[in-house]
A and B are shown apart, each in its own frame.
Chain A
Amino acid sequence: MRTLVSATLCLTLLSAPAFAADSIQVITDGNAAAGGATVEIAKMKFATPEVTVKAGEAVTWTNTEALPHNVHFKTGPGLTEEHEGPMLRSKQTYTVQFNEPGTYEYICTPHPFMKGKVVVE
Protein backbone atom coordinates (compact mmCIF):
# COMPACT_ATOMS: atom_id res chain seq x y z
CA MET A 1 0.00 0.00 0.00
CA ARG A 2 2.76 2.32 1.02
CA THR A 3 4.67 1.56 -2.19
CA LEU A 4 1.60 2.35 -4.24
CA VAL A 5 1.14 5.70 -2.61
CA SER A 6 4.78 6.61 -3.21
CA ALA A 7 4.55 5.56 -6.84
CA THR A 8 1.50 7.70 -7.39
CA LEU A 9 3.23 10.63 -5.80
CA CYS A 10 6.26 10.22 -8.05
CA LEU A 11 4.07 10.10 -11.14
CA THR A 12 2.33 13.27 -10.11
CA LEU A 13 5.63 15.01 -9.59
CA LEU A 14 6.93 13.85 -12.95
CA SER A 15 3.89 14.92 -14.95
CA ALA A 16 3.66 18.39 -13.43
CA PRO A 17 6.41 19.93 -11.37
CA ALA A 18 4.04 21.10 -8.69
CA PHE A 19 4.31 21.14 -4.95
CA ALA A 20 2.32 21.89 -1.84
CA ALA A 21 -1.05 21.03 -3.34
CA ASP A 22 -0.37 23.13 -6.44
CA SER A 23 -0.69 26.44 -4.62
CA ILE A 24 2.44 27.41 -6.53
CA GLN A 25 3.69 25.74 -9.66
CA VAL A 26 7.00 25.94 -11.49
CA ILE A 27 6.54 26.70 -15.20
CA THR A 28 9.19 24.97 -17.27
CA ASP A 29 7.69 25.10 -20.75
CA GLY A 30 7.39 28.85 -21.18
CA ASN A 31 3.58 28.68 -21.20
CA ALA A 32 3.02 31.07 -18.36
CA ALA A 33 -0.33 32.79 -18.20
CA ALA A 34 -0.51 36.39 -19.37
CA GLY A 35 -0.11 39.15 -16.84
CA GLY A 36 1.88 38.54 -13.70
CA ALA A 37 5.15 40.19 -12.86
CA THR A 38 8.89 40.07 -13.47
CA VAL A 39 11.67 40.46 -10.92
CA GLU A 40 15.24 41.26 -11.85
CA ILE A 41 18.07 40.01 -9.67
CA ALA A 42 21.01 42.39 -9.55
CA LYS A 43 23.66 43.57 -7.09
CA MET A 44 22.79 40.91 -4.52
CA LYS A 45 19.18 42.04 -4.42
CA PHE A 46 15.77 41.16 -5.76
CA ALA A 47 15.23 44.50 -7.50
CA THR A 48 11.50 44.45 -6.80
CA PRO A 49 11.39 42.74 -3.43
CA GLU A 50 7.59 42.79 -3.30
CA VAL A 51 5.32 42.09 -6.29
CA THR A 52 1.56 41.61 -6.41
CA VAL A 53 -0.18 39.32 -8.91
CA LYS A 54 -3.61 37.79 -9.30
CA ALA A 55 -4.29 34.12 -8.62
CA GLY A 56 -3.36 32.10 -11.70
CA GLU A 57 -0.69 34.57 -12.80
CA ALA A 58 3.04 33.92 -12.84
CA VAL A 59 6.20 35.69 -11.70
CA THR A 60 9.43 35.41 -13.68
CA TRP A 61 12.80 36.05 -12.08
CA THR A 62 15.83 36.93 -14.22
CA ASN A 63 19.36 36.92 -12.85
CA THR A 64 21.25 39.78 -14.50
CA GLU A 65 24.68 39.26 -12.89
CA ALA A 66 27.46 36.67 -12.92
CA LEU A 67 26.90 35.65 -9.32
CA PRO A 68 24.42 32.73 -9.18
CA HIS A 69 21.18 33.29 -7.28
CA ASN A 70 17.97 31.37 -6.84
CA VAL A 71 14.43 31.70 -5.52
CA HIS A 72 13.77 29.69 -2.38
CA PHE A 73 10.24 29.73 -0.97
CA LYS A 74 9.91 29.18 2.70
CA THR A 75 6.96 27.37 4.25
CA GLY A 76 4.08 29.58 5.26
CA PRO A 77 0.34 29.92 4.83
CA GLY A 78 -0.65 27.90 1.76
CA LEU A 79 2.80 26.37 1.42
CA THR A 80 3.47 23.36 3.59
CA GLU A 81 6.81 22.46 2.04
CA GLU A 82 9.62 24.81 1.20
CA HIS A 83 10.69 24.90 -2.40
CA GLU A 84 14.25 25.61 -3.43
CA GLY A 85 14.61 26.72 -7.04
CA PRO A 86 17.71 25.97 -9.13
CA MET A 87 20.63 28.38 -9.10
CA LEU A 88 20.29 30.85 -11.97
CA ARG A 89 23.37 31.94 -13.87
CA SER A 90 23.54 35.24 -15.68
CA LYS A 91 20.49 35.86 -17.92
CA GLN A 92 18.74 32.66 -16.82
CA THR A 93 15.10 32.87 -15.79
CA TYR A 94 12.75 31.03 -13.46
CA THR A 95 8.96 31.21 -13.60
CA VAL A 96 6.43 30.24 -10.96
CA GLN A 97 2.66 30.36 -11.34
CA PHE A 98 0.66 31.21 -8.24
CA ASN A 99 -2.69 29.49 -8.02
CA GLU A 100 -3.86 30.44 -4.57
CA PRO A 101 -4.17 33.85 -2.93
CA GLY A 102 -1.70 34.52 -0.14
CA THR A 103 1.72 35.97 0.65
CA TYR A 104 4.68 33.87 -0.41
CA GLU A 105 8.03 34.84 1.12
CA TYR A 106 11.27 33.75 -0.42
CA ILE A 107 15.04 34.12 -0.10
CA CYS A 108 18.13 33.23 -2.14
CA THR A 109 19.55 30.01 -0.63
CA PRO A 110 23.25 30.96 -0.37
CA HIS A 111 22.40 34.62 0.33
CA PRO A 112 19.65 34.48 2.96
CA PHE A 113 19.86 38.26 3.34
CA MET A 114 18.31 38.48 -0.16
CA LYS A 115 14.61 38.47 0.59
CA GLY A 116 11.41 39.00 -1.38
CA LYS A 117 7.73 38.25 -1.34
CA VAL A 118 4.93 37.61 -3.82
CA VAL A 119 1.48 38.77 -2.82
CA VAL A 120 -1.22 36.84 -4.66
CA GLU A 121 -4.68 38.41 -4.68
Chain B
Amino acid sequence: MTHAYRPGKASLRSGIALSAVLLALTAPTGALAQDTQTPTAQTQTPAETAPAPLAAGETHGTRAAAEAAAHLAAGGEDEPVVLQAPAPDARRVYVNDPAHFAAITQQYIVDGNTARVVGMVDAGFLPNPVVASDGSFFGHVSSVWSRIARGERTDYVEVFDPVTHEPTADIELPNTPRFLVGTYPWMSALTPNNKTLLFYQFSPTPAVGVVDLAGKRFDRMIEVPDCYHIFPSSDQTFYMHCRDGSLLKVTRGEGGEPQTQNTEVFHREDEYLINHPAYSPKNGRLVWPTYTGKIFQADLGGENATFREPIEAFTEEEKQAGWAPGGWQQVAYHRDSNRIFLLADQRPQWTHKTPSRFVLVIDAETGQRIARYDLGRNIDSIAVSQDAEPQLYALSTVERTLFIHDAATGEETSSVDQLGHGPQVITTADM
Protein backbone atom coordinates (compact mmCIF):
# COMPACT_ATOMS: atom_id res chain seq x y z
CA MET B 1 0.00 0.00 0.00
CA THR B 2 1.16 3.44 -0.84
CA HIS B 3 0.97 4.62 2.74
CA ALA B 4 3.19 1.92 4.20
CA TYR B 5 6.07 3.32 6.16
CA ARG B 6 9.59 2.02 5.90
CA PRO B 7 11.81 3.76 8.42
CA GLY B 8 15.09 5.00 7.08
CA LYS B 9 18.14 4.59 9.25
CA ALA B 10 18.49 8.29 9.78
CA SER B 11 14.99 8.68 11.13
CA LEU B 12 15.42 5.75 13.50
CA ARG B 13 18.61 7.16 14.90
CA SER B 14 17.14 10.56 15.54
CA GLY B 15 14.00 9.15 17.03
CA ILE B 16 11.51 10.74 14.69
CA ALA B 17 10.05 7.49 13.51
CA LEU B 18 6.66 8.37 14.99
CA SER B 19 6.38 11.74 13.32
CA ALA B 20 7.52 10.21 10.08
CA VAL B 21 4.79 7.58 10.31
CA LEU B 22 2.25 10.28 10.80
CA LEU B 23 3.62 12.34 7.96
CA ALA B 24 3.45 9.33 5.69
CA LEU B 25 -0.11 8.63 6.74
CA THR B 26 -1.33 12.15 6.19
CA ALA B 27 0.66 13.22 3.16
CA PRO B 28 -0.96 13.49 -0.26
CA THR B 29 -0.23 10.25 -2.11
CA GLY B 30 1.13 12.00 -5.16
CA ALA B 31 4.02 13.35 -3.18
CA LEU B 32 5.25 9.85 -2.43
CA ALA B 33 6.42 9.00 -5.92
CA GLN B 34 10.08 9.72 -5.70
CA ASP B 35 13.28 7.84 -6.30
CA THR B 36 14.61 6.39 -3.06
CA GLN B 37 17.52 4.37 -4.46
CA THR B 38 20.08 6.58 -2.77
CA PRO B 39 20.06 7.37 0.94
CA THR B 40 20.00 11.10 0.29
CA ALA B 41 16.70 10.75 -1.52
CA GLN B 42 14.93 9.46 1.60
CA THR B 43 13.40 12.80 2.37
CA GLN B 44 10.92 14.76 0.35
CA THR B 45 11.12 18.42 -0.49
CA PRO B 46 8.06 20.53 0.36
CA ALA B 47 5.37 20.63 -2.30
CA GLU B 48 5.89 23.70 -4.44
CA THR B 49 2.21 24.23 -5.08
CA ALA B 50 -0.58 23.91 -2.58
CA PRO B 51 -2.90 20.97 -3.16
CA ALA B 52 -6.21 21.79 -4.84
CA PRO B 53 -9.10 22.35 -2.44
CA LEU B 54 -11.22 19.31 -1.69
CA ALA B 55 -14.34 18.91 -3.82
CA ALA B 56 -17.79 18.69 -2.22
CA GLY B 57 -18.10 15.37 -0.41
CA GLU B 58 -14.43 14.64 -0.91
CA THR B 59 -12.24 13.92 2.09
CA HIS B 60 -8.47 13.84 2.34
CA GLY B 61 -8.83 10.07 2.65
CA THR B 62 -11.03 9.57 -0.43
CA ARG B 63 -8.77 11.79 -2.50
CA ALA B 64 -5.68 9.91 -1.37
CA ALA B 65 -7.41 6.60 -2.15
CA ALA B 66 -8.37 7.77 -5.64
CA GLU B 67 -4.86 9.00 -6.29
CA ALA B 68 -3.40 5.74 -5.05
CA ALA B 69 -5.79 3.73 -7.25
CA ALA B 70 -4.85 5.81 -10.29
CA HIS B 71 -1.19 5.41 -9.46
CA LEU B 72 -1.64 1.65 -9.21
CA ALA B 73 -3.68 1.45 -12.42
CA ALA B 74 -0.94 3.32 -14.25
CA GLY B 75 1.54 0.69 -13.09
CA GLY B 76 3.23 3.00 -10.60
CA GLU B 77 5.55 1.61 -7.95
CA ASP B 78 5.41 2.41 -4.25
CA GLU B 79 8.54 4.11 -3.05
CA PRO B 80 8.11 4.93 0.64
CA VAL B 81 10.01 8.00 1.79
CA VAL B 82 10.26 10.22 4.85
CA LEU B 83 8.17 13.24 4.02
CA GLN B 84 8.66 16.90 4.78
CA ALA B 85 6.02 19.35 5.84
CA PRO B 86 5.10 22.24 3.54
CA ALA B 87 7.07 25.41 4.29
CA PRO B 88 5.36 27.14 7.23
CA ASP B 89 3.20 30.20 6.73
CA ALA B 90 1.03 32.30 9.04
CA ARG B 91 -1.49 29.47 9.17
CA ARG B 92 0.89 26.91 10.59
CA VAL B 93 -0.75 25.95 13.88
CA TYR B 94 0.94 24.16 16.74
CA VAL B 95 -1.44 22.31 19.05
CA ASN B 96 0.11 21.18 22.29
CA ASP B 97 -1.38 18.35 24.29
CA PRO B 98 -0.31 18.42 27.97
CA ALA B 99 -2.35 15.19 28.14
CA HIS B 100 -3.73 15.90 31.60
CA PHE B 101 -0.27 15.91 33.21
CA ALA B 102 1.03 12.76 31.51
CA ALA B 103 4.80 12.23 31.65
CA ILE B 104 5.06 12.21 27.86
CA THR B 105 3.24 14.70 25.64
CA GLN B 106 2.86 15.62 22.01
CA GLN B 107 2.77 18.64 19.79
CA TYR B 108 0.59 18.39 16.66
CA ILE B 109 1.65 20.53 13.74
CA VAL B 110 -1.34 21.50 11.63
CA ASP B 111 -1.51 23.26 8.29
CA GLY B 112 -4.46 25.59 8.78
CA ASN B 113 -4.89 26.00 5.02
CA THR B 114 -5.69 22.34 4.45
CA ALA B 115 -6.70 21.40 8.02
CA ARG B 116 -4.22 18.55 7.99
CA VAL B 117 -1.73 17.32 10.52
CA VAL B 118 1.61 17.71 8.75
CA GLY B 119 3.71 16.32 11.57
CA MET B 120 4.16 15.96 15.27
CA VAL B 121 6.96 16.00 17.80
CA ASP B 122 7.23 14.37 21.19
CA ALA B 123 8.09 16.04 24.46
CA GLY B 124 8.24 15.24 28.13
CA PHE B 125 6.30 16.57 31.09
CA LEU B 126 4.31 19.82 30.68
CA PRO B 127 6.50 21.34 27.96
CA ASN B 128 6.33 25.02 27.09
CA PRO B 129 6.12 25.44 23.31
CA VAL B 130 7.59 28.37 21.39
CA VAL B 131 7.47 29.28 17.70
CA ALA B 132 9.88 31.65 15.97
CA SER B 133 8.22 34.86 14.82
CA ASP B 134 9.42 34.22 11.25
CA GLY B 135 8.37 30.57 11.30
CA SER B 136 11.97 29.46 10.88
CA PHE B 137 11.85 27.07 13.83
CA PHE B 138 9.76 25.90 16.71
CA GLY B 139 10.73 24.29 19.96
CA HIS B 140 9.91 23.70 23.56
CA VAL B 141 11.28 23.71 27.06
CA SER B 142 10.72 20.22 28.40
CA SER B 143 11.47 17.80 31.23
CA VAL B 144 12.18 14.08 31.21
CA TRP B 145 13.09 11.57 33.90
CA SER B 146 15.46 8.59 33.65
CA ARG B 147 12.66 6.15 34.57
CA ILE B 148 9.70 7.73 32.78
CA ALA B 149 8.22 9.63 35.75
CA ARG B 150 10.88 9.12 38.42
CA GLY B 151 14.64 8.99 38.71
CA GLU B 152 16.99 11.65 37.51
CA ARG B 153 15.30 14.69 36.04
CA THR B 154 16.61 16.51 32.99
CA ASP B 155 15.28 19.87 31.83
CA TYR B 156 16.18 20.90 28.32
CA VAL B 157 15.33 23.11 25.38
CA GLU B 158 14.75 21.45 22.04
CA VAL B 159 14.58 23.26 18.71
CA PHE B 160 13.08 21.76 15.55
CA ASP B 161 13.24 22.44 11.85
CA PRO B 162 9.66 23.35 10.78
CA VAL B 163 9.86 21.34 7.54
CA THR B 164 11.76 18.17 8.48
CA HIS B 165 10.77 18.29 12.16
CA GLU B 166 14.29 17.10 12.95
CA PRO B 167 15.78 18.50 16.17
CA THR B 168 18.42 21.11 15.42
CA ALA B 169 19.41 21.89 19.01
CA ASP B 170 19.17 20.17 22.39
CA ILE B 171 20.30 22.41 25.22
CA GLU B 172 20.37 21.12 28.78
CA LEU B 173 19.27 23.45 31.59
CA PRO B 174 21.33 23.05 34.77
CA ASN B 175 19.68 22.33 38.15
CA THR B 176 16.24 21.44 36.69
CA PRO B 177 14.94 25.00 36.88
CA ARG B 178 11.65 24.66 34.99
CA PHE B 179 8.36 25.67 36.57
CA LEU B 180 6.13 22.59 36.21
CA VAL B 181 2.67 24.01 35.74
CA GLY B 182 -0.36 23.62 33.48
CA THR B 183 0.88 25.09 30.22
CA TYR B 184 0.84 28.89 30.27
CA PRO B 185 2.10 30.11 26.89
CA TRP B 186 3.93 33.14 28.33
CA MET B 187 5.91 31.16 30.89
CA SER B 188 8.46 30.83 28.12
CA ALA B 189 9.13 33.23 25.28
CA LEU B 190 11.49 34.08 22.45
CA THR B 191 13.12 37.46 22.05
CA PRO B 192 12.03 39.31 18.86
CA ASN B 193 15.24 38.35 17.06
CA ASN B 194 14.51 34.67 17.91
CA LYS B 195 18.03 34.28 19.25
CA THR B 196 17.19 33.90 22.93
CA LEU B 197 14.67 31.81 24.80
CA LEU B 198 13.50 32.92 28.23
CA PHE B 199 11.77 30.58 30.67
CA TYR B 200 10.35 30.98 34.15
CA GLN B 201 11.52 29.39 37.40
CA PHE B 202 9.12 29.46 40.34
CA SER B 203 10.99 27.55 43.03
CA PRO B 204 13.13 27.98 45.06
CA THR B 205 13.11 31.61 44.03
CA PRO B 206 11.50 33.54 41.17
CA ALA B 207 13.91 33.69 38.26
CA VAL B 208 14.06 33.82 34.49
CA GLY B 209 16.39 31.48 32.64
CA VAL B 210 18.21 32.78 29.60
CA VAL B 211 19.00 30.30 26.83
CA ASP B 212 21.21 31.38 23.96
CA LEU B 213 19.59 29.63 21.00
CA ALA B 214 22.00 31.15 18.52
CA GLY B 215 24.98 29.79 20.50
CA LYS B 216 23.05 26.64 21.52
CA ARG B 217 23.91 27.03 25.21
CA PHE B 218 22.33 27.87 28.53
CA ASP B 219 23.36 31.39 29.52
CA ARG B 220 22.21 32.18 33.07
CA MET B 221 19.39 32.59 35.53
CA ILE B 222 18.22 36.10 36.35
CA GLU B 223 16.75 36.41 39.84
CA VAL B 224 13.61 38.53 39.71
CA PRO B 225 11.13 39.80 42.30
CA ASP B 226 7.82 38.10 42.96
CA CYS B 227 6.60 38.36 39.33
CA TYR B 228 5.23 35.93 36.74
CA HIS B 229 5.10 35.43 32.96
CA ILE B 230 7.57 36.77 30.42
CA PHE B 231 6.72 39.27 27.67
CA PRO B 232 9.79 40.21 25.61
CA SER B 233 9.53 43.77 24.33
CA SER B 234 12.95 43.93 22.73
CA ASP B 235 15.94 41.65 22.38
CA GLN B 236 17.27 42.84 25.76
CA THR B 237 14.07 43.75 27.59
CA PHE B 238 11.10 41.82 28.91
CA TYR B 239 8.17 42.51 31.19
CA MET B 240 6.60 40.42 33.93
CA HIS B 241 3.42 40.73 36.00
CA CYS B 242 4.03 41.06 39.73
CA ARG B 243 2.06 39.97 42.78
CA ASP B 244 1.62 43.60 43.80
CA GLY B 245 -0.31 44.36 40.59
CA SER B 246 2.44 46.16 38.70
CA LEU B 247 4.48 45.14 35.69
CA LEU B 248 8.21 44.67 36.06
CA LYS B 249 10.51 45.77 33.28
CA VAL B 250 13.74 43.74 33.16
CA THR B 251 16.61 44.98 31.02
CA ARG B 252 19.14 42.19 30.63
CA GLY B 253 22.04 44.13 29.18
CA GLU B 254 25.22 42.50 27.93
CA GLY B 255 26.69 40.76 30.98
CA GLY B 256 26.49 42.60 34.27
CA GLU B 257 23.50 42.85 36.54
CA PRO B 258 20.07 43.14 34.94
CA GLN B 259 18.18 46.36 35.65
CA THR B 260 14.60 46.15 36.90
CA GLN B 261 11.90 48.76 37.20
CA ASN B 262 8.27 48.48 38.30
CA THR B 263 5.38 50.25 36.62
CA GLU B 264 2.50 51.65 38.60
CA VAL B 265 0.02 49.17 40.06
CA PHE B 266 -2.53 48.86 37.24
CA HIS B 267 -5.20 46.63 38.77
CA ARG B 268 -6.80 46.17 42.16
CA GLU B 269 -6.01 43.23 44.39
CA ASP B 270 -9.52 41.81 43.85
CA GLU B 271 -9.24 42.00 40.05
CA TYR B 272 -7.95 38.56 39.05
CA LEU B 273 -6.00 38.51 35.82
CA ILE B 274 -6.13 35.18 33.97
CA ASN B 275 -3.10 32.96 33.35
CA HIS B 276 -3.40 33.17 29.58
CA PRO B 277 -3.11 36.76 28.44
CA ALA B 278 -2.59 37.52 24.75
CA TYR B 279 0.60 39.28 23.76
CA SER B 280 1.78 40.48 20.37
CA PRO B 281 5.57 40.73 20.38
CA LYS B 282 5.40 42.51 17.03
CA ASN B 283 3.61 45.59 18.36
CA GLY B 284 4.11 45.04 22.08
CA ARG B 285 0.40 44.88 22.88
CA LEU B 286 -0.48 42.99 26.04
CA VAL B 287 -4.17 42.07 26.36
CA TRP B 288 -5.09 40.82 29.80
CA PRO B 289 -8.67 39.94 30.81
CA THR B 290 -9.89 39.42 34.34
CA TYR B 291 -12.31 36.77 35.61
CA THR B 292 -15.18 39.22 35.04
CA GLY B 293 -14.23 40.30 31.52
CA LYS B 294 -12.50 43.57 32.30
CA ILE B 295 -9.66 43.76 29.79
CA PHE B 296 -6.46 45.56 30.69
CA GLN B 297 -4.17 46.52 27.85
CA ALA B 298 -0.59 47.75 27.92
CA ASP B 299 1.76 48.74 25.15
CA LEU B 300 5.22 47.43 25.95
CA GLY B 301 6.95 48.35 22.70
CA GLY B 302 8.17 51.80 23.70
CA GLU B 303 10.71 52.96 26.23
CA ASN B 304 8.26 52.29 29.06
CA ALA B 305 4.97 50.43 29.39
CA THR B 306 1.89 52.54 28.76
CA PHE B 307 -1.51 51.40 29.96
CA ARG B 308 -4.71 51.85 27.99
CA GLU B 309 -8.12 52.57 29.39
CA PRO B 310 -9.51 49.17 30.44
CA ILE B 311 -12.35 47.66 28.41
CA GLU B 312 -15.41 46.01 29.91
CA ALA B 313 -16.33 43.05 27.69
CA PHE B 314 -19.78 42.81 29.27
CA THR B 315 -22.49 45.21 30.32
CA GLU B 316 -23.67 45.18 33.92
CA GLU B 317 -26.83 43.38 32.75
CA GLU B 318 -24.78 40.68 31.07
CA LYS B 319 -22.65 40.22 34.16
CA GLN B 320 -25.81 39.87 36.22
CA ALA B 321 -26.91 37.19 33.73
CA GLY B 322 -23.69 35.27 34.41
CA TRP B 323 -21.60 36.26 31.39
CA ALA B 324 -17.88 35.90 32.02
CA PRO B 325 -14.76 34.64 30.25
CA GLY B 326 -13.80 31.01 30.78
CA GLY B 327 -11.57 28.26 29.43
CA TRP B 328 -7.82 27.88 29.03
CA GLN B 329 -6.50 30.24 26.33
CA GLN B 330 -9.43 32.60 26.68
CA VAL B 331 -8.18 35.52 24.64
CA ALA B 332 -6.55 36.15 21.27
CA TYR B 333 -5.40 39.37 19.64
CA HIS B 334 -5.17 40.09 15.91
CA ARG B 335 -2.53 42.74 15.41
CA ASP B 336 -3.42 44.13 11.94
CA SER B 337 -7.11 44.59 12.67
CA ASN B 338 -6.48 45.48 16.33
CA ARG B 339 -9.20 43.07 17.42
CA ILE B 340 -9.59 41.08 20.60
CA PHE B 341 -11.26 37.66 20.60
CA LEU B 342 -12.59 36.57 23.99
CA LEU B 343 -13.93 33.13 24.91
CA ALA B 344 -17.00 33.57 27.10
CA ASP B 345 -20.23 32.05 28.27
CA GLN B 346 -22.82 32.28 31.03
CA ARG B 347 -21.31 30.56 34.05
CA PRO B 348 -21.37 30.46 37.83
CA GLN B 349 -18.54 32.28 39.55
CA TRP B 350 -15.39 30.17 40.10
CA THR B 351 -15.97 28.07 36.97
CA HIS B 352 -13.50 30.16 34.99
CA LYS B 353 -11.64 27.10 33.68
CA THR B 354 -14.66 25.37 32.21
CA PRO B 355 -15.07 25.75 28.44
CA SER B 356 -17.16 28.39 26.69
CA ARG B 357 -19.46 28.29 23.68
CA PHE B 358 -19.08 31.88 22.48
CA VAL B 359 -16.40 34.20 21.18
CA LEU B 360 -16.74 37.97 21.50
CA VAL B 361 -14.97 40.10 18.93
CA ILE B 362 -13.95 43.44 20.41
CA ASP B 363 -12.31 46.50 18.90
CA ALA B 364 -9.17 46.89 21.02
CA GLU B 365 -9.10 50.64 20.39
CA THR B 366 -12.66 51.61 21.21
CA GLY B 367 -13.72 48.65 23.32
CA GLN B 368 -16.81 48.26 21.12
CA ARG B 369 -18.14 44.76 20.60
CA ILE B 370 -18.03 43.92 16.90
CA ALA B 371 -19.57 40.46 16.98
CA ARG B 372 -20.49 37.50 19.11
CA TYR B 373 -19.96 34.10 17.53
CA ASP B 374 -21.88 31.08 18.75
CA LEU B 375 -19.37 28.29 18.19
CA GLY B 376 -22.02 25.70 18.87
CA ARG B 377 -19.83 23.60 21.16
CA ASN B 378 -17.63 23.78 24.23
CA ILE B 379 -14.26 25.35 23.46
CA ASP B 380 -11.29 25.63 25.83
CA SER B 381 -8.72 27.60 23.85
CA ILE B 382 -8.72 30.08 21.01
CA ALA B 383 -6.09 31.73 18.81
CA VAL B 384 -6.01 33.60 15.52
CA SER B 385 -3.62 33.49 12.59
CA GLN B 386 -2.02 36.88 11.97
CA ASP B 387 -2.57 37.05 8.20
CA ALA B 388 -4.92 39.51 6.51
CA GLU B 389 -7.84 37.06 6.43
CA PRO B 390 -7.30 35.41 9.77
CA GLN B 391 -8.47 32.01 10.83
CA LEU B 392 -9.95 31.68 14.29
CA TYR B 393 -8.76 28.49 15.95
CA ALA B 394 -11.02 26.96 18.54
CA LEU B 395 -9.72 23.96 20.45
CA SER B 396 -11.90 21.55 22.40
CA THR B 397 -9.94 19.66 25.04
CA VAL B 398 -12.70 17.10 25.62
CA GLU B 399 -13.39 16.54 21.91
CA ARG B 400 -9.63 16.67 21.26
CA THR B 401 -10.44 18.62 18.12
CA LEU B 402 -9.24 21.86 16.59
CA PHE B 403 -12.08 23.70 14.87
CA ILE B 404 -11.04 26.23 12.26
CA HIS B 405 -13.32 29.22 11.74
CA ASP B 406 -13.31 32.29 9.53
CA ALA B 407 -12.37 34.99 12.05
CA ALA B 408 -14.39 37.59 10.10
CA THR B 409 -17.69 35.70 10.24
CA GLY B 410 -17.24 33.04 12.89
CA GLU B 411 -18.23 30.39 10.38
CA GLU B 412 -16.62 27.00 10.92
CA THR B 413 -14.66 25.98 7.83
CA SER B 414 -12.86 22.79 8.83
CA SER B 415 -11.60 20.77 11.76
CA VAL B 416 -8.84 18.41 12.81
CA ASP B 417 -9.67 15.70 15.35
CA GLN B 418 -7.82 13.06 17.41
CA LEU B 419 -5.32 15.57 18.81
CA GLY B 420 -3.99 13.55 21.71
CA HIS B 421 -5.56 13.17 25.15
CA GLY B 422 -6.29 16.71 26.30
CA PRO B 423 -4.99 19.34 23.87
CA GLN B 424 -4.96 22.79 25.44
CA VAL B 425 -2.50 25.18 23.83
CA ILE B 426 -2.51 26.75 20.36
CA THR B 427 0.59 28.55 19.10
CA THR B 428 0.93 30.49 15.85
CA ALA B 429 3.62 32.75 14.43
CA ASP B 430 3.07 36.40 13.51
CA MET B 431 5.07 36.08 10.30
Chain A interfacial positions (CB closer than 8 Å to B) = 72, 74, 82, 107, 109, 112-113, 115
B314 contacts A by Cβ under 8 Å = no
A42 to chain B, nearest CB (A): 16
Q: Which of B202, B204, B226, B243 sits near A74, CB closer than 8 Å?
A: B204
B residues within 8 A CB of A72?
Answer: 204
B residues within 8 A CB of A113?
Answer: 206, 226, 243
Dominant SS among interface residues on chain B: loop
A112–B206 CA distance with the chains assembled, in angstroms: 7
A113–B244 CA distance with the chains assembled, in angstroms: 11
A residues within 8 A CB of B243?
Answer: 113
B174 to chain A, nearest CB (A): 15
Is the pair B204, A107 in contact by a Cβ cutoff of 8 Å?
A: yes
B205 contacts A by Cβ under 8 Å = yes
A35–B391 CA distance with the chains assembled, in angstroms: 68
A-B residue pairs in contact (CB < 8 Å), sample of 7: A74-B205, A107-B205, A112-B203, A112-B204, A112-B205, A112-B206, A113-B206
Known: A107-B204, A113-B206. 9 other contacts (CB 8 A): A72-B204, A74-B205, A107-B205, A109-B203, A109-B204, A112-B202, A112-B203, A112-B205, A112-B206
Chain B interfacial positions (CB closer than 8 Å to A) = 202-206, 226, 243
Of A107, A113, A115, which is in contact with the most chain B CB atoms at under 10 Å from its CB?
A113
B202 to chain A, nearest CB (A): 6
A107–B205 CA distance with the chains assembled, in angstroms: 8
A1 to chain B, nearest CB (A): 25
Residue of B nearest to A84 (CB): B204
B residues within 8 A CB of A109?
Answer: 203-204
A residues within 8 A CB of B226?
Answer: 113
B residues within 8 A CB of A107?
Answer: 204-205
A41–B206 CA distance with the chains assembled, in angstroms: 20
B224 to chain A, nearest CB (A): 11
A109–B202 CA distance with the chains assembled, in angstroms: 10
A88–B243 CA distance with the chains assembled, in angstroms: 23
A106–B206 CA distance with the chains assembled, in angstroms: 13
A66–B205 CA distance with the chains assembled, in angstroms: 23
A residues within 8 A CB of B202?
Answer: 112
A107–B206 CA distance with the chains assembled, in angstroms: 11
A19–B106 CA distance with the chains assembled, in angstroms: 42
A82–B203 CA distance with the chains assembled, in angstroms: 13
Residue of B nearest to A107 (CB): B204
A113–B205 CA distance with the chains assembled, in angstroms: 7
Of B202, B203, B204, B205, which is in contact with the most chain A CB atoms at under 10 Å from its CB?
B204
A72–B202 CA distance with the chains assembled, in angstroms: 15
B residues within 8 A CB of A112?
Answer: 202-206
A49–B204 CA distance with the chains assembled, in angstroms: 17
A113–B206 CA distance with the chains assembled, in angstroms: 7
A59–B203 CA distance with the chains assembled, in angstroms: 24
A112–B226 CA distance with the chains assembled, in angstroms: 8
B residues within 8 A CB of A115?
Answer: 205
Residue of A nearest to B207 (CB): A112
A113–B203 CA distance with the chains assembled, in angstroms: 9
